[in-house]
């Protein structure tokens, strides 16, 4: 299969030094929504990962700026590039050049099934996110669903109920873009959200409340092997979508209460949460940072902003999330027919 893909119109080229690496890259990019296409010499983004017994250390000019919560990947900022380093793999990302070059230890490919969180998966995804950011596609950690083109964004850290709410809304006919991450893109008519992880990542225990999950032999999720990778179109045919116009921004919070409630919040709090859930991809380059902040501000301006205190009824009464959120989307402007 050729190593060329398209993601929301962007051309990607992904080269692997061995068949095993190429297979992993193919699975990862498909997981993020990329589709294989014919070879194209003028790719917007290029990824290349090769097997090396010893990994290069970050250059002396690099400054350590943090550690990713996913797999403990160290992040280094160097002139004109960023370095992502794990004990089993590294990547050097050149945002301006649209390239990421990685090295993978052979041992990482020999026993991938033992990795609950695969470092190569997260290294590729983070590299891709940094390259997309430079081109005005800004990743946001949020579940995103839509009704008739109008979207609801649910930004929040893991464990705040994003996937549970997504499953509940799917039961009532909503379309899912993602239960975890989307790409934000500014257009002439506002901000659009685009899918950046197609399958749901579902804890097997969710089948106790969503029995429709039982039956199919769901594979392990690439992002977390302890969870199921659930194909939305297999679970609810025709209820996946690739893009929407967000009109509702809801901060989910797990509440130790029998019933759920929703309340309006101010723009400042909403923007703070968007910044928190975009934190890894906030750039130190002023031009990129200004564009990113502008997109987040425009997103807040075009949405109603609320906080959902999700009580036990979200699990016990399947209509709860739909009953609280659907009325808030009614009457707003319809989806803008804007290409990303």
pLDDT in tens, 48-71: 999 998 898 898 999 998 888 778
The model's pTM:
0.93
Long-range residue pairs from 69-77, CB within 8 A, at least 24 positions apart, any chain: 70/117, 70/122, 70/126, 71/117, 71/118, 71/119, 71/122, 71/123, 73/119, 73/122, 73/123, 73/126, 75/280, 77/284
Residues 6+ apart with CB under 8 A from 208: none
Same domain, 143 and 273: yes
Q: Are residues 206 and 226 in the same domain?
A: yes
- Same domain flag for 96 and 216: no
**120 & 231 share domain:** no
Which neighbouring-strand residues pair with 51? 104
The answer to whether residue 335 is domain-embedded is no
Torsion angle, alpha carbons of 219, 68, 155, 276, to 10: 180
Are 188 and 319 in the same domain?
A: yes
9 assigned to some structural domain: yes
Range of the domain at 117: 4-134
pLDDT at 339: 37
Q: What local confidence, expressed as pLDDT, does residue 149 receive?
A: 86
Do 24 and 75 share a domain, yes or no? yes
Are 160 and 261 contained in the same domain?
yes
Question: Looking at the predicted structure, is the pLDDT value of residue 335 above 60?
Answer: no
pLDDT in tens, 230-289: 999 999 999 999 999 999 999 999 999 999 999 999 999 999 999 999 988 877 788 888
Q: Which among 134, 166, 188 is the end of a domain?
A: 134
Q: Which of 134, 159, 191 is the last residue of a domain?
A: 134
Residue 85 shares a structural domain with residue 170 = no
Q: Is there a domain that residue 340 lies in?
A: no
Q: Whole-angstrom Cα distance, residue 252 to residue 155?
A: 7
Residues 132-182 pLDDT 10s: 999 999 999 999 999 988 999 999 988 889 999 999 999 999 999 999 999
Asked if residue 308 is part of any domain, the answer here is yes
Query: How many domains are there within the chain?
Result: 2
Q: Identify whether 338 is part of a domain.
A: no
Judge whether 69 lies within some domain. Answer: yes
Of 79, 99, 134, the residue that ends a domain is: 134
Q: Give dist(CA 13, CA 97) in Å, integer.
A: 13
Q: What is the gyration radius of the CA atoms in the chain, in angstroms?
A: 20
158 and 17 within one domain: no
Query: What's the pLDDT score for residue 112?
Result: 56
Q: What is the CATH number of the domain that holds 263?
A: 3.40.50
Q: H-helix or E-strand containing 274?
A: helix 267-276
Q: What is the 3-state secondary structure (H, E, C) of 173-200?
A: CCEEEECCEEEEEEECCEEEEEECCCCE
Interatomic CA distance for residues 119 and 54, integer angstroms: 16
- Which of 210, 211, 180 shows the shortest CA–CA distance to 195? 180
């Amino acid at each position: 299969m050729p190593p060329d893909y398209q993601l929301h119109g962007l051309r990607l080229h992904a080269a692997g030094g061995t068949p095993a690496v190429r297979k992993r890259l193919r699975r990862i990019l498909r997981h993020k929504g990329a589709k294989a296409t014919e070879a194209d010499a003028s790719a917007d983004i290029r990824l290349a990962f090769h097997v090396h017994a010893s990994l290069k250390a970050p250059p002396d000019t690099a400054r350590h700026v943090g550690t990713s919560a996913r797999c403990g990947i160290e992040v280094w900022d160097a002139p004109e590039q960023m370095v992502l380093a794990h004990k089993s793999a590294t990547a050097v990302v050149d945002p301006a050049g649209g390239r990421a070059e990685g090295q993978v230890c052979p041992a990482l490919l020999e026993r991938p099934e033992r990795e609950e969180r695969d470092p190569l998966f997260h290294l590729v995804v983070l590299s891709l996110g940094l390259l997309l950011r430079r081109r005005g596609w800004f990743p946001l950690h949020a579940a995103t669903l839509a009704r008739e083109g109008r979207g609801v964004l649910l930004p929040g850290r893991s464990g705040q109920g994003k996937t549970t709410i997504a499953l509940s809304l799917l039961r009532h006919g909503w379309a899912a873009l993602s239960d975890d991450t989307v790409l934000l893109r500014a257009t002439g008519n506002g901000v659009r959200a685009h899918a950046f992880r197609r399958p749901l990542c579902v804890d097997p225990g969710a089948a106790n409340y969503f029995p429709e999950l039982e039956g199919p032999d769901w594979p392990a999720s690439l992002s977390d092997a302890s969870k199921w990778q659930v194909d939305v179109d297999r679970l609810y045919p025709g209820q996946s979508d690739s893009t929407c116009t967000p009109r509702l921004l809801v901060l989910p919070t797990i509440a130790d209460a029998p019933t759920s409630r929703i309340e309006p919040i101010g723009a400042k709090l909403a923007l703070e949460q968007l910044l928190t859930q975009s934190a890894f991809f906030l750039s130190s380059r002023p031009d990129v940072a200004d564009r990113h902040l502008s997109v987040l501000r425009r997103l807040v301006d075009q949405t109603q902003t609320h906080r959902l205190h999700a009580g036990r009824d979200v699990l016990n009464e399947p209509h709860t999330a739909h009953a609280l959120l659907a009325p808030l989307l009614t009457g707003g402007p319809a989806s803008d027919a804007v290409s990303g």
